Amino acid sequence: MSIIDELDPDELDPDELALADEHVITPTEAAEAAAWRPSPGGVAARIVVLVGLLLLVVAIPQIVPDIYTNVVSKAAIFGLVALSLNVIIGYTGQISLGHNAFVGVGAFGAGYALTKMDLPYAGALVVAALTGVVGALLIGVIALRLAGLYLALVTIAYAFLAQEVLFNLRSLTGGGAGQPAPRPSVFSSDVSYAYFCIAVLGVALAFDWRLTASKGGRAIQALRDDERVAASWGINVTSFKLLAFVISGIMAGIAGALFAGIEQLASRQDFPFLPLALTFLVMTVVGGAGNRWGVMQGGILFAILPTLLDRAHESFHFFPFTSVQVTWEPAIGALLLLLTLIFSPGGIAQQQRHLLNWLSFKRFNEPSHGGGISRGGMGARP
Amino acid sequence: MPAPKDHRKLGEPPLLEAHDVSIRFGGVQALSEVAFAVHESEIVGILGPNGAGKTTFFNCVSGFYAPNEGRIELHGEDVTALRPDERAQRGLGRTFQQVGLVKSFTVLENLIVAQHKSVKYGVLSGMFGMPWTLREERVLREKAMVVLDFMGLMAVKDAPVQGLPYGTLKMCETAAVIATDPEILMLDEPLAGTGPEEGEAFCQRLKDMRRDLGISIVMIEHHVPLVLGTADYIYVLNFGALLAQGRPAAIRKNEAVAVAYMGEGATALA
C-alpha cells in the first residue's frame, strides 16, 4: 500500500505526499530538467571522463599486481551476479536468497559440459545459462503464488536443495575433488581471462539497458508497482514475472560458468548458502537495487572486500588493522546494509546520483527523489 | 454535423454485454443479476450511491473478479473465463478508483508502458536492441505525446507520478488507458479530486473522443448532473441490483432513483 492508496482523495494534499521523499519534483522542475542539454564544453568534459573511465577499466587487469588478477575476474563476475539479482530485487520487487545455488549450478553445469560432454566453451556457457533457466522456472512458478517473506523462504529452500543434494551428486560435481572447468583456450592466461569476464559484464550491462528501455523490462517494472494496473494494460502478469526470473537465472548461470573458470575448477565449497547467498543480497541492496551502475559497484565492492581486509591485515601493524581478519567481512557487510537502509535506501547509486546524472549527460544537480525506493528501486510493498 | 448514430436504437448487437452477473463475498450478495450493454460509440453512465456495487461490477466486467453467476460478452465472444490482460488485449480498457499508474515512472513513461499491447516487436528483439525496436520506441513516444497533448497534460509529462496532485493523477490515468488504444473505455470515478470546471472540460473531452476515435465509454461517477449531461444511456445500481436504466431524461424523472440518492420523499433528480 502506498500513501496514495491510504488517504481519502478529498483530504489529499500534495505536501502530505512529500513526506515519503526528501523532495517532491514539481512538474516545472521535471520539464526543465528534461529540456536541459549540456553545453558543448560540458559534452566534451563528459566524454573525456567517460573515455578515461573506460581506459581505466581496460587498464586494470594490466596494472594490478599479478596475484590480484583473479580478483579482477571475480569482481566482474560479482558485478554480473549483482545485475542478475537486480532483475529480481530491483525490477520485479521480489527477493532471492538462492542465488548461490543459481551460480553454483551454473558453474557445475559448465564444468560438466566441458569435461564430461566435451562441449566447446560457448556450448558450456549455453548449458550454464540453461541450468539458470530451469532453476528460475522452478522458483518463478512458486513466485507466481508467493511473495515477500514466503518467497524468500522458498528461495532459501532451493539454496539448501542445491547445497545438500545437487552439489553432492558425484557425477555432476566430481565430489570433493571438484569438477574441472578449463578456460576457453583463447583466454587461458589470468589477464586475458579477466578481460573476458569484463567483456561479459559489459555485454550484460548493455543487455540490461535495452531490457529496461524496451517492452519486456517496462512490463516487469510495471507489475512490480501494481499487478492489477499492469494487467489492465494488457500485460500478462504470469509470463512477465517468469521472464524476469528466467533473465536473472540466465545471468546467474553464466556468472557461475565464469566463476568456475577462475580456479578452472568448480567445487562445492565455493558456493555455500552462508555467506554467499547473503553476500549477493547485501551487495545488491548496498549497491542500490534498481540501478545497474549501483548494483554493479556493490558487486565489485563485495568481491574485493576480503582481499582488501586481508591486505590491510598484512600491511599495517597497528590497531585496528592488527585485529582485522577476513572474517570481518560479514560484519562490514551488515554495517553497510544498515547504513544503506537507514541513510540512503538507494544505496551507492543514490550516493553517486549527482555523478551518475552528470555522466549520463544530465545536470549535476538534477532534482531527484529520495533514491531507489521511489525511482526504479525496491517497491515498499510487503 | 450530423448527430452520432444511435446504435442502441438501431437494435445492433452490443459491443460489451453483461448477462445477469451475480457475485457473493461470503454472505454478502454484492451483485445480483445485473445486466448491462454497451453499444458502439456510446457513452454509458453508471450511477448509484456508495456501496451500490459499481466498482465490483467493473471488476467483474474487466476480469478482476470472477462472478458466481452470469457471463460477460465482448464482441459477442464469451470472455467470462478470460484474465484481465486477455480482456485488455481484446480492447477493454479501464481505470481504477485508486490511481492506476506505475508509481515509480514519470507520466510519459506510464503512457509508453500502457501501449504494451500495441507494441509489435517481440520481447527478445527488444532486449537485444534490434534496430527496428529502437524505431518503434520513438513511435511509442510520439503516440504518448499525442495523447498527453489531447488530455492537456503536456505540462506534467516529465514529472514523476509520485507527488502529483490527485486530480492530475486521475487525468494521467485516463490518458494512460487511452494510450492502450481501447475500443471500450471504462472509467471509475475519473473526476474524483477535480474541480467543477475541470469536470465540464473532461466530459467535453469524452464526447470529442467518442466522436474522433469512435470508442465507447463507460463511466462511474458521483457527479450526477455531469453524468446526466454526458451519457447517452444510464444504469443505476443500488444494493447490488439494477434499480433503473434508460436515457438521461427518463432517469432524471425516475422516482426510485431520486429516493435512492436523496432519501424518502424525493421525486426527481436534479
pLDDT-derived band at A8, boundaries 50, 70, 90: low
> Strand ranges (DSSP E) for chain A?
179-180, 265-266
**Which of A149-153, A294-298, A340-344 is predicted most confidently?**
A294-298
Using CA coordinates, name the residue in chain B closest to A229: B100
At A19 the pLDDT is: 44
Alpha-carbon torsion (A156, A157, A158, A160), positive or negative: positive
**Preferred mutation among B104, B170, B174 to probe A, highest tally of A CBs within 10 A:** B104
* B contacts of A1 (beta carbons < 8 Å): none
pLDDT at B270: 61
Contact B159 A226 (CB under 8 A): no
pLDDT, position A326:
58
What pLDDT score does A202 carry?
A: 97
**Reported ipTM exceeds the 0.90 cut:** yes
Are the Cβ atoms of B177 and A232 closer than 8 angstroms? yes
- CA–CA distance, A352 with A150 (Å, rounded to integer): 33
Instruction: Please determine, for residue A382, whether its predicted confidence score (pLDDT) is greater than 50.
Output: no
DSSP lists the bridge partners of residue B38 as: B16
By CA distance, what is B135's nearest residue in A? A214
pLDDT at A21 over 80: no
Task: Pick A225's closest partner by Cβ from B85, B102, B121.
Answer: B102
Q: Which three cell numbers stand for residue A16?
A: 502530505
Q: Which residue has the higher pLDDT, B90 or A143?
A: B90
Q: What per-residue confidence (pLDDT) applies to B163?
A: 84
- Cα A128 from Cα A109, distance rounded (Å): 5
Whether residue A275 is preceded by a cis peptide bond, meaning omega within 30 degrees of 0, is yes
Which of A65-74, A370-379, B70-79, B187-196 shows the lowest mean pLDDT across its residues? A370-379
Q: Are B126 and A215 in contact (CB under 8 A)?
A: yes
Mutant choice from B83, B162, B169 vs A, greatest count of A C-beta within 10 A: B162
* pLDDT averaged over 10-residue windows placed end to end, chain B, 270 residues: 70 92 94 95 93 94 96 95 96 94 93 95 93 95 96 93 89 95 95 86 92 93 92 95 94 91 79
CB atoms within 10 A of CB A55: 10
The minimal CB distance from A17 to the residues B85, B114, B163 is found for B163
How many angstroms away from the CA of B97 is the closest CA of chain A?
10
Whether the predicted pLDDT of A379 surpasses 50: no
Q: Which residues contact A311 (CB under 8 A, 6 or more apart)?
A: none
Q: Residue B143: in which H helix or E strand, if any?
A: helix B131-150
Select from B84, B94, B159 the Cβ nearest to the Cβ of A30: B159
Find chain B residues with C-beta within 8 A of A21's C-beta: 162-163
d(CA A230, CA A237): 7
Shortest distance, CA B198 to any CA of chain A (angstroms) = 16
Interface of B with A in 143-182 (CB under 8 A): 155-160, 162-166, 169, 176-177, 180
Determine the Cα–Cα distance for residues B107 and B124; give it in Å rounded to an integer: 26
Q: Which of A5, A33, A234 sits opposite B116 (nearest CB)?
A: A234
Selecting from B63, B98, B126 the residue whose C-beta is nearest the C-beta of A216 gives B126
Residue B170 CA, chain-centre distance (Å), reads: 12
Domain extents for chain B? 1-91+184-270, 101-181
Q: Which of residues 36-65 of B touch A (CB under 8 A)?
A: 62-64
Query: Which of these, B2, B71, B72, B79, lies nearest to B41 by C-alpha position?
Result: B2
The span from the CA of B144 to the CA of B151, in Å, is: 11
Q: Can you give the pLDDT at residue A16?
A: 47
Beta carbons within 8 Å of A157's beta carbon, 6+ residues apart: A98
Please give the mean pLDDT across all residues of chain A.
88
Of A235, A247, A377, the CB nearest to B85: A235
Specify which residues B185 forms β-bridges with: B93, B217
Cβ pairs A/B, distance under 8 A: 162
Q: Does B128 touch chain A (CB under 8 A)?
A: yes
Q: What's residue A311's pLDDT? A: 83
Per the CB < 8 A criterion, the answer to whether B105 and B81 are in contact is no
More confident residue, A323 or A349: A349
Query: A3-359 is classed in which CATH architecture?
Result: Orthogonal Bundle (1.10)
Average pLDDT over every residue of A154-166: 92
Cβ distance of A236 and B101 shorter than 8 Å: no
Q: Which residues of B touch A224 (CB under 8 A)?
A: 104
8 Å CB contact of A232 and B96 = yes
The average pLDDT across A338-365 equals: 90
Q: Where are the domains positioned within chain A?
A: 3-359
Sign of the torsion angle spanned by Cα atoms B242, B245, B250, B251? positive
User: Using the beta-carbon criterion (under 8 Å), do A232 and B103 form an inter-chain contact?
Assistant: no
Q: How far is B10 from chain A (nearest CA, A)?
A: 31
Q: Which of B85, B163, B176 sits opposite A231 (nearest CB)?
A: B85
Nearest of B34, B179, B169 to residue B101 by alpha carbon: B169
pLDDT of A377 above 60: no
Distance in angstroms (rounded) separating the CA atoms of residues A70 and A74: 6
Task: Mutate one of B106, B123, B147 to test the A interface: name it (highest A CB count within 10 A).
Answer: B123
Yes or no, beta carbons of A233 and B88 under 8 Å apart: yes
Give B-chain residues touching A12 at CB under 8 angstroms.
Answer: 165-166, 193
Å between B11 CA and nearest CA of chain A: 30
Domain B1-91+184-270 adopts which CATH fold?
Rossmann fold (3.40.50)
For residue range A94-137, list pLDDT tens digits in order. Answer: 999 999 999 999 999 999 999 999 999 999 999 999 999 999 99
Which residues in chain A touch residue B223, judged by CB atoms under 8 angstroms apart? none
Q: Which residue of A has its CA nearest to B94?
A: A232
- Residue A280 reports pLDDT greater than 70: yes
pLDDT above 60 (res A338) = yes
Calculate mean pLDDT across residues A80-90.
97
For chain A, how many residues are written? 382
Burial A277-314 (b: 16+ CB within 10 A, else e): bbbbbbbbbbbbbbbbbbbbbbbbbbbbbbbebeeebe
From B48's Cα to the closest Cα of chain A, the distance in A is: 19
Question: Does pLDDT of A376 surpass 60?
Answer: no
pLDDT over 70 at A11, yes or no? no
